[in-house]
Structure 1
Amino acid sequence: MPQRRAVTSRSQEPRQRFAEEVRRLREERGVSLRQLAEQLGWDCSTLGKLERGQSLGSPEVAQALDAYYCTPGLLLALWELAVADPAQFKEQYRRYMLLESEATSLWHFGVNCVHGMFQTRGYARELIAAGGHQGATLDRQVEARLGRAALLGATEPPRFRTILYEAVLRMRLRDGQAWREQLEHLIESGDQSNIIVQVLPFSAGPFGLDSTEVTFLGLLGGRTVAYTENAHRGELIEEASSVERLELAYDSMRDLALSPAESRKFIGRILEEAPCDPST
């Protein structure tokens, strides 16, 4: 069978193709980035990052561009392909890790697990192993995750608030001692002046982020970005209005959480229930 030739000279890589089309449509319209930003009401730097392939923005940006260029659904479809590309997930996570190292403050909600910076070795190992890693790969993943905690022990560490859903604390590890160590570590972490640990109990009822693991990063210059993830994918969100909507949901949920002092007692009660013998 003869090799299939590309129909066009445009990129076959989803992220790059999206960037190419965004740039091509603007150039065909004969407007500058600044003019486009003024007409759409979006930040000029955001649109520039789309054209350079540095960011995918949000679906709202793609829809606004589709409406402006009279290309109904084209850019939104390309955007959806780009964010669904596995390579895109890895790139977004690399960028998130870079931003995490530069953050001056972080606030997090854990609906499924403890944030990586607060995970103990036993907890991290069991969690990563459950994802299919083993052998030398598992060892590397565990060391990489534990290394992130160094940020909290820096000379000028960032402020960090973590809110954990009660289900996170109720999910016992197979290794009972490792589970105890993780709960003890959360209590000890809350004693640090730059760290706040809170619990969102089941009794709080429904809340806006019931299926979303999210971390917000406060960066120099006052900018905030968010990273959301589940078991299959992660997404770095930089568009201001999208981040703001997530923050509003987070603030509403934080109002339902126990105070730091109440949370410490809550974790302590769960710790009392934890078996000392892993076999029990």
Structure 2
Amino acid sequence: MPKRQPRDSQEAGWEFLASELKRRRLAAGLTQEEVGLRAFASGSYITHFEKMGRKPSPEMAAQLDVALETDGFFERLCRKLLEKSPFAAYFAKAAELEKLATKICDFESMTVPGLLQTAAYARALTIAHHPLAEDEIIEDLVSSRIERARLITDTPRPEYWAIVHECALHVPVGGQAAMAEQLEHIADLMRARKVLLQVIPLQAGAHSIMGKSLRLMEFDDAPPTAYTEGAYSGNLLDEPAMVKQTQGAYDRLRAAALSPEASLLLIETAAEEHRRCATTT
């Protein structure tokens, strides 16, 4: 699969960070392995940073400053680039990584995953999170989410697999008509083979990630990562043992979920129910 290329204007800043890392490493007479040892990372991670296969977190950028004695330069630059993101600070790094992913696996327990959301659905969620925000701010946030969603319809695109709980199909976010539109959109994507999606039925009972969300991302030339999110917080995980544990949890979700074919039928049925309610109220 061709390597994905990010679209936003921040890319020039990240390219500058990568080139400066290589320039300052060479000026210090250090190999990538030596910088990695000083920054408590592997030499391959430094390679990924220099080639933009991965972008450092502010914490890793601070370790690079220590390794290269750059007096906070990389940490300040990294934080500045993340501040320009239209997304919440805790999600900004994950949003950058998803543009480079070759495979993304999402799980949501109560909502439709962001990459599958329609504008009406996203707007209702955004207003619920920011009830006093001005309309212009709401629309900017919605536009950013819809722009993200192009990721799974553009070419090239990552392999995208999502699992949602059946609860997410029945909560009328934005009203019955908006919810019908949302589920019809998901069904269209599934029928067009743009996404693989499974639903965990109510009858499945307890499962391994109840009340949480989880995202797994894989890359051509970098180790996989996991991202978990709670209320106003998120954690990007790249420690191999932790990522392996989250992959196991996702595998158990797949085992508990309906097949894609049965899931599509359930989604279509729920969409019809919301559409019927919208026309009779």
TM-score category, normalised to shorter length? 0.5 to 0.7
- Counterparts of 2:270 and 2:210 in 1: how far apart (Å)? 22
Distance 1:175 1:35, change over 3 A: closer
2:114 aligned partner, one-letter code: G
Q: CA deviation at 1:202?
A: 1.1
2:234 aligned partner, one-letter code: G
SS at match of 1:157: coil
Which residue of 2 is the match for residue 184 of structure 1? 184
Which residue of 2 is the match for residue 54 of structure 1? 57
Answer whether contact 1:164 1:198 (CA < 8 A) is retained. yes
Which residue of 1 is the match for residue 166 of structure 2? 166
- Counterparts of 1:232 and 1:241 in 2: how far apart (Å)? 25
Distance 1:45 1:171, change over 3 A: same
2:95 to 94, 97, 104: 97
Q: CA deviation at 1:231?
A: 2.6
1:216 aligned partner, one-letter code: L
- Counterparts of 1:97 and 1:151 in 2: how far apart (Å)? 11
- Deviations for 1:77-96, whole angstroms, at most 9, x for unmatched residues? xxxxxxxxxx9x94442221
Rg (Cα) greater in structure: 1
SS at match of 1:215: strand
State the TM-score, normalized to the length of structure 1. 0.68
SS at match of 2:197: strand
Which residue of 2 is the match for residue 151 of structure 1? 151
Which residue of 2 is the match for residue 221 of structure 1? 221
Which residue of 1 is the match for residue 204 of structure 2? 204
Q: CA deviation at 1:222?
A: 5.2
- CA RMSD of superposed structures (Å): 2.8
- Deviations for 1:239-278, whole angstroms, at most 9, x for unmatched residues? 1111111110110111110000000111122122214537
Which residue of 2 is the match for residue 22 of structure 1? none
Distance 1:166 1:56, change over 3 A: farther
- Deviations for 1:95-154, whole angstroms, at most 9, x for unmatched residues? 211111111110010112111111011100001000014411001001111111111122
Say whether residues 1:136 and 2:136 are aligned partners: yes
- Deviations for 1:214-257, whole angstroms, at most 9, x for unmatched residues? 11111122521111112321111121111111110110111110
1:265 aligned partner, one-letter code: L
1:149 aligned partner, one-letter code: A
Q: Percent identity?
A: 28
**Please, which runs of 5 or more residues in structure 2 have no aligned partner?**
1-34, 50-55, 61-82
Say whether residues 1:109 and 2:107 are aligned partners: yes
2:106 aligned partner, one-letter code: H
Answer whether contact 1:158 1:194 (CA < 8 A) is retained. no
- Counterparts of 2:223 and 2:279 in 1: how far apart (Å)? 45
Distance 1:92 1:126, change over 3 A: closer
1:191 aligned partner, one-letter code: R
- Counterparts of 1:35 and 1:141 in 2: how far apart (Å)? 39
1:114 aligned partner, one-letter code: V
Answer whether contact 1:174 1:278 (CA < 8 A) is retained. no
- Counterparts of 1:216 and 1:36 in 2: how far apart (Å)? 25
Answer whether contact 1:215 1:228 (CA < 8 A) is retained. yes
**Please, which runs of 5 or more residues in structure 1 have no aligned partner?**
1-31, 58-86
Distance 1:33 1:108, change over 3 A: closer
Distance 1:105 1:114, change over 3 A: same
State the TM-score, normalized to the length of structure 2. 0.68
2:116 to 118, 135, 139: 118
Farther off after superposition, 89-98 or 207-216: 89-98
Answer whether contact 1:225 1:237 (CA < 8 A) is retained. yes
Which residue of 1 is the match for residue 278 of structure 2? 277
- Counterparts of 1:269 and 1:94 in 2: how far apart (Å)? 35
Q: CA deviation at 1:176?
A: 1.5
